[in-house]
Amino acid sequence: MDFLIPFMQVWVIAELCVAAVMLVLTALPHFYTTAAPRTASLTLGLVLLAYPVGIFIDKGTGPKDPLPVALGNIFVVYLPGVLMAGAVLLAVVTLIRRPKVTTPKRGLKRSDKRAIGRGLQYGLFLALLIVVVIQMNWDYLSQRFFTVAALREAWPDQMIHALLNTLKYTLGAFAVSLTLGMILALAKLSSVKLYRYLATGYIELFRGLPALLIVMAVAYGVPMALGIRIPTLALKAAIALGLVSAAYMAESLRAGIQAVPKGQVEAARSLGMSYGQTMISVVIPQAIRIVLPPVTNEIILLTKDTSLVYLAGVTMAEWELTKLARESVAEPYGGLTALFAIGACYLIITLPLGFLVRRMEKGFGKARA
Amino acid sequence: MSDVVVQIEGLHKSFGDHHVLKGIDLTIHEREVVCVIGPSGSGKSTLLRCVNMLEQPSAGRVWLLGTEVTDPEVDLDEVRTHVGMVFQQFNLFPHKTVLGNLTLAQVKVLGRSRAEAEAVARRNLEQVGLADRADAYPAQLSGGQQQRVAIARALSMDPKLMLFDEPTSALDPELVGDVLAVMRDLAKAGMTMMVVTHEMAFARDVGDRVVFMDDGVVVEDGPAAQVITDPQTERARVFLHRVLHPTEVDDAELGQTDASRAAAASERGRGGHGHRPPRAGGYGAGGASPIKLTDH
Ligand SMILES: Nc1ncnc2c1ncn2[C@@H]1O[C@H](COP(=O)(O)OP(=O)(O)OP(=O)(O)O)[C@@H](O)[C@H]1O
Ligand SMILES: [Mg+2]
């Protein structure tokens, strides 16, 4: 691959020259007459500048393997070539198509300034990305993070099992959280002072304590203190994480219930509906739409908090994703590939959830003003 | 006393140390349409809301259909099923269709079957001229349509008494007529009604009695035409003048003679802004102008 070296020198100099020309042309007040080509010109200039910069600061990341060289061919050689061609084309076309009589205007137009600002943002972002991509030690990364062999042990049985366990713990905890959170929210809105105090006390307490502590307390403290054996780990997880989450859930639900206009309650009560009927048929259905985003947030947090379950002492059958990852990383030839795979598993749970909620929110649109 | 629907005795209501109702006595008989008028903040809404106990009175007693609702032992939910209420802001349930709005309480409270409730609902929608909008959501309706749905919702419970709190005040002027027409039909059909309103023409032509309230007390209570066109008290005269002739109100002292009003008129344009124009004043209100109620 040594033949590339002198060629690269020429290539880098060319890139710098074209970049400089494009930036100068962008700065000329009258060369581009509309915003779009000006933005394109600025972006091209910055991106072409980024390649040489990325290569020059590419030092000390160890020997290059086939992957980065191949990458280099695509990103460092061909793509800049295409970009340079594009830049030259843009400049030439602009030159040819320039209107014959130009009425010189002072300074840049408002739309031009906007375009330059936009172009700067795009250009800088792309330039940064290119520098990072060129800089990255791909072959080291691929070895540490993408060695499929390291997964052989865990894939697919253990991983699917752990994924299902994570889901199970999350759903259990969510059920506890929603039920208890609802009770706490209603207690906080109650006209009975004692209920309000109790709810506030609970919320302050469980919001302030680390979830880790609660998991240990439920797993070891409660059985010791009360002599109750919580039979399964899933139940321990549901209770411990649910107790913590309920504190946050209660606040979200309370805010949602309070956001339903008072007139709704009055209308329902004036029809003879009881407080309970009013809550169930009128207030809560409307509050749900309001609390959907914060509640989704809570589920996502719960999903991740299930990683604390290992503190309760888990058998292999009870491993959830993070525990599996910890064990896999400890394997002799594991590397960090397991972490990467497990991270992807979490996203498999959380991304569809976000998607689902956005869909539901759209569905509600019809009943909105 | 068997035909007494509402009886209020010595009713007081305070919010904190703000004394809003200062001893109200009022009786409404069956088939009577009583319109309550008065300046903003005089306590009209509060009085109405004390009738079906949406506000807890501070003192005094209220009987509805022979039941004392101020008795702490009373089953308020049961009493409220006989009393329909229509709000200024409609308060339809936005997450339910029109039909859902009308059937909800019928099914939950009266225990009617779904089919029966729907039949009742459709009959009432027909009556307010909205039979074709049964499947719409409130947000898809105009203000006037929403208020007519709200009336139909209250009627679906087969109430013996209807309470209206400024039902047309939140409506665009051209939609007011539709709602008033529905209310007029209701009055004609013999419904007992208590209506807080700024629509003086409606009060005069549809009301049997008009009650004028000011500062938490009933100042005048008499036959509709008399109270509107020939008020006996100075306070009522001033109020009605301001409502019926809003353009003649300026910041000179109220209740003056024509001469002094003419003198003050030179300042008009700069003055007058300080006054809140009575909301419905300009709408078909002039004592002489014929009242027009659009038919649906
Ligand atoms: N929930 C409440 N808390 C505190 N004060 C209140 C409450 N409801 C009403 N008030 C006060 O009571 C007074 C009378 O209010 P009310 O709504 O009965 O007047 P109104 O005659 O209906 O006036 P409007 O024509 O503006 O509707 C007002 O000064 C108002 O500020
Ligand atoms: Mg009012």
Q: What is the pLDDT of residues A61-97, one digit of tens each?
A: 444 444 445 555 666 777 888 888 999 998 888 888 8
**Contacts (Cβ under 8 Å, ≥6 apart) of A104:** A30
Residues of A in contact with B85 (CB under 8 A): 266-267, 270
Scanning B132-161 for CB atoms below 8 A from A yields 137-140, 150, 153-154, 157
- pLDDT recorded at residue A286: 92
Q: What is the 3-state secondary structure (H, E, C) of A232-279?
A: CHHHHHHHHHHHHHHHHHHHHHHHHHHHCCHHHHHHHHHCCCCHHHHH
Closest ligand, as measured to the CA of B50: 1
Q: Is the pTM of this model over 0.80?
A: no
Contacts from A323-331 at CB under 8 Å and sequence distance 24+? A323/A162, A324/A154, A324/A158, A324/A159, A324/A162, A328/A150, A328/A151, A328/A153, A328/A154, A331/A150, A331/A153
- pLDDT recorded at residue A346: 82
CA-based nearest residue in chain A for residue B137: A367
Name the nearest CA neighbour of A273 among B181, B109, B46: B109
B133 CA distance to ligand 2 middle (Å): 29
Cα-Cα-Cα-Cα dihedral sign, residues A78, A84, A87, A93: negative
Distances (CA, A) of A59 to A14, A62, A137, B74, B164: 22, 8, 10, 86, 81
A271/B80 CB distance under 8 A: yes
Give the N- to C-terminal CA distance of chain A in Å, as an integer.
66
- pLDDT recorded at residue B177: 92
Residue B285 region by backbone torsions, left for phi larger than 0, else alpha for psi between -120 and 50, else beta: alpha
Note the pLDDT tens digit of each residue in B151-176: 999 999 999 999 999 999 999 989 99
- Rounded to 5°, the CA angle B10-B16-B18 comes to 65
- The mean pLDDT of B181-202, rounded to a whole number, is 94
The best mutation among B20, B197, B235, B242 to test binding of ligand 1, ranked by most ligand atoms within 8 Å of the C-beta, falls on B20
Check if B80 contacts A (Cβ < 8 Å).
yes
Atom 8 (ligand 1) nearest CA? B46
Residue B193 near residue B33, CB atoms below 8 Å: yes
Percent of chain A with pLDDT over 70: 79
Confidence of residue B288 (pLDDT cuts 50, 70, 90): very low
Residue A275, pLDDT above cutoff 70 = yes
Confidence of residue A330 (pLDDT cuts 50, 70, 90): low
Ligand 1 contacts CB of residue B93 (under 6 A): no
Note the pLDDT tens digit of each residue in B22-38: 999 999 999 999 999 99
- Rounded to 5°, the CA angle B172-B177-B182 comes to 125
Residue of A262, A270, A281, A366 for testing the chain B interface, max B β-carbons within 10 Å? A270
Residue A148, pLDDT above cutoff 60 = yes
Higher pLDDT, B269 or B154: B154
- pLDDT recorded at residue B274: 40
Ligand 1 contacts CB of residue B197 (under 6 A): no
Average pLDDT, rounded, for chain B: 85
Residue B293, pLDDT above cutoff 50 = no
Q: How far is B163 from B186, CA to CA, in rounded Å?
A: 12
Note the pLDDT tens digit of each residue in A89-129: 988 888 888 776 555 556 667 777 787 788 788 888 888 88
CA-based nearest residue in chain B for residue A287: B95
Residues of A in contact with B153 (CB under 8 A): 271
- pLDDT recorded at residue B273: 43
Chain pair A-B, CB pairs under 8 angstroms: 75
Confidence of residue B266 (pLDDT cuts 50, 70, 90): very low
Distances (CA, A) of A96 to A41, A82, A89, A90, A99: 16, 21, 10, 10, 9
Atom 10 (ligand 1) nearest CA? B15
Of the candidate ranges A195-199, A306-310, B218-222, B228-232, the one whose mean pLDDT is the lowest: A306-310
- pLDDT recorded at residue A67: 45
Check if B51 contacts A (Cβ < 8 Å).
no
Ligand 1 contacts CB of residue B211 (under 6 A): no
Of the candidate ranges A8-12, A36-40, A343-347, A355-359, the one whose mean pLDDT is the lowest: A8-12
